[in-house]
Every structure is written in C-alpha cells, then in structure tokens.
Structure 1
C-alpha cells in the first residue's frame, strides 16, 4: 500500500489494520482512502476542524463517477471510515453528511447458454499467435472454460500456479482470493483432462516449476497471463457470437461466465429434485463467498428457473389443493 501522509494517515492505517485482522483484504477500501489522503494534502488540510461537510462533498464531486452505484460505493467507504472515527472518539461528530445517489433499475447480467459458450471457446481457440506469444488461443480457451465450468473469477484463473492443481484429489487450490480465503474447488474429469492436456503440451519447453503459472502465452510458460489480457480477448471474440440481448439485459462481459455458472447450477438442482435452500451454503463456499447473501447477487431469476420453481410448487401444493376442492 502507498504510504499515507495526511493528518488522517494514522487513523486510516489503523482502520485498515482493524478490518484486515478480521480476514478482509480491504484493497478497494485502501485505494479509496489513498484518494482521500491525497485530496487532504492537496487542499492543505492541517486540522480536524478543517474537515467539514463541504470539504468532503467537494472531494466526492472531484471524483468522476459514471454511475450512481460507483458513486455510492465510494461514499460507502467514507461512511464506514468516518463512523469508525466516531466510535474511536477521534472525530466527533462525523462531518460526512452526503446522502447516496438514487440508483435507477439495473440491467440484468447476460447469461450464456452452453451452446454459446462452446462457440466462444472455439473462437478463442482460433486466436492466432503474435510475435511474442505462444499457444495464445489455447490459453484463452482454457481460461474461459475454467470460469464457466467452475465459476472462478478471472483473477483466480490468472493467478493459478501448477502447484495449485491437485491431481490426486482432482481439485484446484484457489489461494488467498477476494475475501482473503483459500478454498479447494473440485474439477470434473472432462475439464481436468482439458486442463492437463493444455499443460502437457508445453512440458517439452523446459522443466516446469511448481510456481510457474497455469495460464501463460510466453514461450517459456513462465510469465502469467493478466486478468486484463483475458478480458480483452473476451471482448475481441464477443462480436463474432452475434448475441441477441433480451430487453433489460446488459451487454455481456467476462464476469457473466461466472454468473452463468451460478444460475446454471441452481437450474440443475431444480431439475434433479435437489432443494436449493439446503445446497446454497455449499455453492457460496464453492464460489468463494463469505456467506450466501453474496451468492444471491449471482442468482438471476430466469424464465427457466421460474418454470422449474412453479413445477416444484405445484407438486408440493397438489395434495392440499385436492383436499380443498374435493367434491
């Protein structure tokens, strides 16, 4: 983290240390506080009394925000920090008076069908090598496959190392991810075969180290592929899919592969007779969330899910309805 220098620097460091001691990464919050720290320095704020509601309002207005959601996220970080200052009796009362912006209804995420993902991976596999890349198409194809089949975040895919593949237990070890958690993700035989085939194709380059990245386009397979590169490749092949966006649905982005995994899992549970309420905590752990509330954000209600839920309710309610309408 960049060193902080404003008169709130020590308080910011303590605030971040407090939350990180609870197992939180708090990287986004740290970046936001760096912005505030820099702004206080630019405005030559030398006393706590100078941190006024007008000053904080000006700071929020100085940060360009494309959406109400982005603005409210910035405001929320400040609210938590100044509320913490109040509890520590460091700045009472809080000078932050700004209210959140009204957020208009958000578009639903695009959910990929299996056939669309198959086409996406075919297009990715056909991406040609550039002058400094090796097996570029194969790298992007397996990246998309891991995100869609296991619900991994793009950063988790990019950070995978060879030592994270447990061949004996047929799983991946996802280390120190978004919520500072490490988890094990089971891998099915079909996907595992694809992953090992991808790695084995590069074994002739030289001796592989356990810390070498899984996903790489460098010729020695030692330099990891970045999250941004995977996202750019997705956006490059996306137009070739010629997708039709339903009303109220946002344009597809890479994270939609993870959304599609979560919703697809829920749909399979319904169709196989599994009670989703019993399994939801397991899905939350699988996705690397701290609780099922975070997972619920991914569970977009689709027509297929509604149909399955209605069918299940009709089976459940049928005996009672027969009793009510018995002649």
Structure 2
C-alpha cells in the first residue's frame, strides 16, 4: 500500500540519516532534490510517469541537462529505498524500464526530459526477449543447460541478439532457419559478427539435433574464428624492471584520504604478477585465504569452478604479512570472511572494477600505457608476463620448461596445458635461451647416427 508522500516528510529524514553523508554539501544537495521531488509528487494523485516528467520540467531552467540527469540517481536510490521498506509498491522508474525492456534508468529519464516523452519512450522500447517463433525453443535450451550446472552466460547473448533481429524483421517469420541465419550473417560485415554467426549456428544445430536426433551433425567452419584471431592484440610482456617501476609507483600512489590504499595497490600488483592472479580473483580473496604459517594463499571457486592453493615465495609472504598488519591498524574487519583488500572509506572490499582501474592507473603513471584510450599494455598482460618470465628463469637455471608446464598450468588455474600455451609469447630473450638449450642438449643428438657408424 502506498503511504508516500507523507505530510511530515519523515521518510526523507530517515533516508538521509541512514546514508551517513560526510560532506555538508552532499547533505544539502540530497535534501534539496528529495524535497523538491516530494513537492511535485504531492500535486498528483498517483506516483507515476507524470510526476517524473513534471519534476524534470520544474528544474530544467535552474539545472543544466547533465546536472539534472546526474541528480536523477538520487531519486532512483530514494525510490528503491521506499520499495525496500514497503512504503510504496513499485518505483515508476523501474516500471518504465521494465516496459521498455532495458536495464538502465538513465535512458528513461533522458526520454522523459525530451519535448515528446511518449514518443521518446516508444523509441526506447526494446523487443521482448525470446519473443519470436524460435524464442520458446531457445529459452528452453538455455534453461536446460543451466539446470545441468553450466553457467551458460555467453550463448544466451548470441541467441537474444538473433531473436531481436528476427523481431525487427517480421518478414522472416515463416522462412526456414537457414534463410534466417543467412540474413543475420549479412546484417554486418565485420569479422567479429561472422565469428559470432558461426558460433550461433553451432548452438542452433545442437538445439535442433537434441530435439530431433535424426538430424545429421553439422561440421563447424573454423575460418571465421581464424580471421578474428588475426586482429587480436599481441600481449605486452613486462620486464622485471617494468614491474619494479610499477611497484615503486604503487607504494607512492597519491591517496590523501585513504592512507592504506597505496599499500593495498602495491600488494594487489605483487599478487597479480607473482601469483598470476586475475582481477576477479584478487577481489574475491578473503583474509582467511592467506596462510602466513604455511606460506600459501587459497583462491576459491574461480574460472572453470576451480579452487587452488598457491605457495608463494618468502619475500612475497613477508609483504603480505606487512600488509595484513597495516590493514589491522587501519581498523579493517578481522573476520576471516572479510575481503583481504579492504576499502577504508566504504568499509568493504574492493570490487574487481575498482582494482582494474587502480592497477591500470599505475601502468599509466609508469608511462607504459598512454594517458587515455584502450591502447597499449593491459592489466591481464601481467599474467602473460608472469608465464614468460618464469620460463626464462627456468631456462637460465637449466630446467627443462616442458617438464614444468603441467605444474604451471595448475598454478594458473587452467583446465589443461593447452590453455597455458596461449600465454607463452615468444620474445627475443625466450627465443635466444631456447636456441641455446637446443644447441647444448638437442644438437648432439643429430650427430649420434654419424658417430655410431663404423
């Protein structure tokens, strides 16, 4: 039952008190926005689309369009709070978003702020997922694969794109699937689209064969994926000097409001390189996953549903021990289930997006990556560099890398050695040391037959 807007405005007061805003300016802005929104809502009999549009019009002359859209986030969070506390049944913004079949609220606000809101909302509306003649079959297959225990997150994206294309082209409704796929393949001329179409054909062939086993299996075409592989960016291999420079920058990272952050970034970077951890694995590490006595860390339920225990060098464990001491002094939770990398201002663990942003910023500050854009070395290249530099070290110490690759694959959390081979980038140093080893070990074998001849 809707009990808002309340005349005494206690809902706004309780909401603002629960936010814990530190800045006085933030409290002023939040209070101004929420009270102005209730002023408009009180003039309407129902909390609906008209309230949102009238509030936007009331402040369109006082706020710039960008400022207005930014402050709609305050309204979104407040309405979500009212729904969670049972004050209102449903947020009108969420209702419009679901009607349009979109995931974000900002496009809805942008449409409401236009001169013709109804027309803008109609143009914003997306087709309903799996709404074509093939939709039921595809949705049933996705549910079947997930019930079997597969994540199955990528394939539904391909199926929904194909389904959306069919909804926008109703003339293909009665055509055979082969004709539908031909039109879908010709919709774009990019290599990535051609590769996605080939993958979609494999999934659809699997669905049809499951429903009718008499259908002969389809032979896959590897050419589209090979064309996509030609445009892949070659990994950048960080040298030990590059890593040392990034570690120095991480230790002195500017952070006036969070004294622990430089040491947190330093430790993240250390584990990303020395243990080859992915950014998601760094974010999911708990305090209890670090065994200071045994010198190991436990990486739980990562890619391919694997959990692995990684031994670390004494020097890395010493740095981890120093970080945990500093973390405790900073007031972080000592619960074994709390995040290892703790955010001082939010009182919670760093997200994988925050970790990626911070570490990429360190790479930029080390002048290894351009100040802007997606070009240049990537964060994931630290994992490639760990593999290549480890193999170089094995060559220098006289160890045969081929014997150690299965152990390296297990350490990295790969399913098999083939996944690890992708990380081996042939550099000049690696090629030189491999040639030297062949000259010392393999070359004498070529003269063996000549030596045994009488």
> Shorter-chain TM-score: what band?
0.7 to 0.9
Structure-2 residue corresponding to 1:287:
412
Gaps of 5+ in 2: 1-102, 104-127
Question: Counterparts of 1:141-180 in structure 2 under 5 Å?
Answer: 141-180=266-305
- Deviation at 1:119? 0.8
- Deviation at 1:179? 1.1
Alpha-carbon distance change, 318 to 128 in structure 1, aligned in 2, over 3 angstroms: same
Say which is worse superposed, 88-97 or 114-123, in terms of deviation: 88-97
Structure-2 residue corresponding to 1:253:
378
1:47-105, Cα deviation, whole Å (9 max, x unpaired): 7x54634533554666897xx3x446533541331231233135958999997273436
Alpha-carbon distance change, 262 to 226 in structure 1, aligned in 2, over 3 angstroms: same
Structure 2 Cα separation of the partners of residues 196 and 63 of structure 1: 53
Alpha-carbon distance change, 269 to 95 in structure 1, aligned in 2, over 3 angstroms: closer
Structure 1 Cα separation of the partners of residues 276 and 311 of structure 2: 11
Local SS of the residue matching 2:197: helix
Does structure 2 retain, via aligned residues, the 8 Å contact 1:235–1:253?
yes
Local SS of the residue matching 2:430: helix
1 or 2 for the larger relative contact order (CA 8 Å, sep ≥6)? 1
Q: Give the number of the structure whose alpha-carbon radius of gyration is greater.
A: 2
Structure-2 residue corresponding to 1:240:
365
Alpha-carbon distance change, 262 to 139 in structure 1, aligned in 2, over 3 angstroms: same
- Deviation at 1:235? 3.0
Question: Counterparts of 1:170-249 in structure 2 under 5 Å?
Answer: 170-204=295-329, 205=331, 207-219=333-345, 221-222=347-348, 224-243=349-368
Structure-1 residue corresponding to 2:155:
29
Gaps of 5+ in 1: none
- Deviation at 1:192? 1.4
Alpha-carbon distance change, 211 to 296 in structure 1, aligned in 2, over 3 angstroms: same
- Deviation at 1:174? 1.1
Structure 1-normalised TM-score? 0.80
1:100 equivalent among 224, 245, 267:
224
Local SS of the residue matching 1:129: coil
Structure 2 Cα separation of the partners of residues 64 and 141 of structure 1: 44
Structure 2 Cα separation of the partners of residues 117 and 142 of structure 1: 13
Say which is worse superposed, 298-307 or 200-209, in terms of deviation: 200-209
CA RMSD of aligned residues (A): 3.7
1:78 equivalent among 172, 197, 200:
200
Structure 2 Cα separation of the partners of residues 305 and 94 of structure 1: 43
- Deviation at 1:265? 1.3
Structure 2 Cα separation of the partners of residues 19 and 291 of structure 1: 24
Question: Counterparts of 1:12-51 in structure 2 under 5 Å?
Answer: 12-14=139-141, 17-18=144-145, 21=148, 25-40=151-166, 50=175
Does structure 2 retain, via aligned residues, the 8 Å contact 1:8–1:37?
yes
- Deviation at 1:267? 1.2
- Deviation at 1:190? 1.1
Does structure 1 retain, via aligned residues, the 8 Å contact 2:391–2:401?
yes
Greater helix share, structure number: 2
Structure-1 residue corresponding to 2:253:
127
1:277-298, Cα deviation, whole Å (9 max, x unpaired): 2211111111111011111110
Local SS of the residue matching 1:197: helix
1:87 equivalent among 199, 209, 212:
209
Structure 1 Cα separation of the partners of residues 408 and 150 of structure 2: 20
1:226-277, Cα deviation, whole Å (9 max, x unpaired): 22222222332333333499xxxx7200001000001111111222222222
